[in-house]
Amino acid sequence: MQDTFEARNEVEEKLLAAQEGQISSESFMEYLLDAQLFMPVKDSIGIEGFTSSDKAVPLTLKTEDGIEVLILFTSPDRSKAFVQDFPGYDGGLLSEFKWVLERTGSGIGISINPDWPVGMDLEPEMVQQLKSN
């Protein structure tokens, strides 16, 4: 886990503000829907980190409870240390969070910035609630 966290983009500034109580979680979630996040993917054809979305396999992990969790980051740089433990996930997609939600199946949670002090986990129920809004 990283000890220090300096916001490098607007998503990180808003996430930090939400975690510190400077903006409401509702305001942050509304903002997040249109924000771009980085999704590490494994792709059969990778050209210098670029991937085509139709062949992309997103990085997901299973929790101790057996819940599948989609891994996202606030920027490609934030993913570098984490994906070293997952060979083949060198590339990724920068996409609006709402686009990611639309393609996320039921029963899947989402983790944003795992192993960073500024991040968030969304339970599958919250993911479904966001999809229906």
Domains and CATH numbers, the chain: 36-132 (3.40.1350.90)
The pLDDT assigned to 133 comes to: 75
Least confident of 26-35, 43-52, 98-107, 114-123: 43-52
What's the mean pLDDT when you consider all of the chain? 90
Q: Report the alpha-carbon distance of residue 123 to residue 109 in Å, rounded.
A: 5
Torsion of CA 75, 31, 27, 60, to 10 degrees: -50
The pLDDT assigned to 56 comes to: 75
The pLDDT assigned to 44 comes to: 55
Element (H, E) at 112: strand 108-112
- What is the per-residue pLDDT across 19-60, written as a single tens digit (0 to 9) for each? 999 999 999 999 999 999 999 999 755 555 554 556 679 999
Residue type, 121: D
Sheet holding 68-72, edge to edge: 60-62, 68-72, 108-112, 120-122
- The percent of residues above 90 in pLDDT, for the chain, comes to 80
